[in-house]
A and B are shown apart, each in its own frame.
Chain A
């Protein structure tokens, strides 16, 4: 069974140390995620691709307690076996805050300011039996 990313161009994969792919404004240095053309900060049109940092701190979080509507959601939506998952914004120093799934879903174990690291997690299987993977942040042990 092979692993395929949920999309191309959002994170580096396959990789031993995956990174999110963003943009940096050539004029003002502002960071953006995902890749985009045009800078919302200074209105310059030119941006360049940049790999974002793998570690940051949790800025805020919630727990997705019910199955999202599918589509668009590609993960498990069976109410009997659905497992809540964490969602948060992780502040990457000197860059920006990125929204992400979290590997931890227990409110007792999540706190604003904790150290987080990028990981790749399984989401679902496609019709060929491949495992579809997406990115998440995990607490640093």
Chain B
């Protein structure tokens, strides 16, 4: 049996806009806070995996943290950068190579919608020139089709945003901490039909660091170790409908989220019904709706009733995006997946304050999705 892995320290730099502080420096703050949380010094860390999309090569931060000679590997994997760093750190400990390491994600993006690098994405210049290189369009088109097939209403999309901003208002690390009503969400400017401004998250800034240890040594660092039961990253298969695709096949495949979710549950030896709460990719409110079903937490179409009934609220049957998700935190791409894990660690330790999920949750799930059709899932338990 391979070595079990525990998260023994967590650190975060506030998400949002921090003028005058680079993305890299926000990552450094997150690392220092994670070390303090675990009660370790930087020189105790044996290895690191880290990455950002737009804020520089992670390994250069050793000049600020200390030149200890540790093994530091940069990770660049789009929206799954944080998840990939965590996957790599998890397996490094499981394999027995090292006992104590860190996964780091940080970023800082320009204001407004993401400017897509069409060349880097293997797309011709004509694609962007013709007005098609916007990730926002994909999300509008995917949820529009989904609403047509499964009867999801615009009110339900707006309720997802309303919940996100309400949860964000209880999260001191969140960017958007002002509650916004369902009506305000619906009446905000239509950006990409049927999605309005307050249904979309914005590119932002922030950093997260997670310290991992062999489970049998976790007690050295914390009296509340949280065990990483699964960490999985999957890419798309033929026939799936993905962001920034000039064409898609006639035949349909469910996509990388379904594959990553199944693999993670198998790895953990658990199923969707065993999860007490989840953080699901909510690039926009429709994504949260669709990802509830793609990750196995309900049947397609059931979200309409569940969300209208309040099931995904913090006090509901199955809380989703308890920290406000991407909608309230923004999306610093390199850090976003690790933010979800950070929140789940707080929830499982019972340290989530005003937004603590009641009844002592024991298991928690995270899911990221992004370009060019990649998904990452983790499962944590106490």
Binary contact readout B185-229 vs A (1 if CB under 8 angstroms, 0 otherwise): 000011111110000000000000000000000000000000000
**Which residues of A from 57 to 85 have beta carbons under 8 Å from B?**
59-66, 68-69, 71-75, 85
Q: Does A15 contact B (CB under 8 A)?
A: no
- Which B residue sits closest to A112, measured CB to CB? B148
Contact A99 B148 (CB under 8 A): no
Choose among B144, B190, B248, B250 the residue that contacts A65 (Cβ–Cβ < 8 A): B190
A112 CA to B145 CA in the complex, in Å?
A: 8
A95 CA to B247 CA in the complex, in Å?
A: 10
The CB with the most chain B CB atoms within 10 A, among A6, A87, A91, is that of: A87
Known A41-B238, A87-B137; judge A134-B129 contact (CB<8 A).
Answer: yes
Q: How many residues of A contact B (CB 8 A)?
A: 45
Chain B interface residue count: which class? 35 or more
- Which A residue sits closest to B129, measured CB to CB? A74
- Which A residue sits closest to B196, measured CB to CB? A65
Choose among B142, B190, B238, B249 the residue that contacts A60 (Cβ–Cβ < 8 A): B142
A90 CA to B124 CA in the complex, in Å?
A: 20
A63 CA to B144 CA in the complex, in Å?
A: 11
Q: Does B66 contact A (CB under 8 A)?
A: no
Binary contact readout A76-110 vs B (1 if CB under 8 angstroms, 0 otherwise): 00000000010111010011111111000001000
Choose among B141, B194, B238 the residue that contacts A88 (Cβ–Cβ < 8 A): B141
List the A side residues contacting B118 at CB < 8 Å.
Answer: 72
A30 CA to B249 CA in the complex, in Å?
A: 8
List the A side residues contacting B178 at CB < 8 Å.
Answer: none
The CB with the most chain A CB atoms within 10 A, among B116, B130, B141, B194, is that of: B130
A30 smallest CB distance to B (angstroms)? 7
List the A side residues contacting B170 at CB < 8 Å.
Answer: none
List the B side residues contacting A62 at CB < 8 Å.
Answer: 137, 140-141, 144, 192-195
List the A side residues contacting B116 at CB < 8 Å.
Answer: 72
Binding site for A on B (CB under 8 A): 112-113, 115-116, 118, 124-134, 137, 140-142, 144-145, 148, 189-195, 238, 245-250
Binding site for B on A (CB under 8 A): 6-7, 10, 22, 30-34, 40-41, 59-66, 68-69, 71-75, 85, 87-89, 91, 94-101, 107, 112, 123, 132, 134-135
- A10-B124, A62-B140, A72-B116 are known contacts; what are 6 more A-B pairs with Cβ within 8 Å? A62-B195, A65-B191, A72-B118, A75-B130, A96-B250, A99-B248
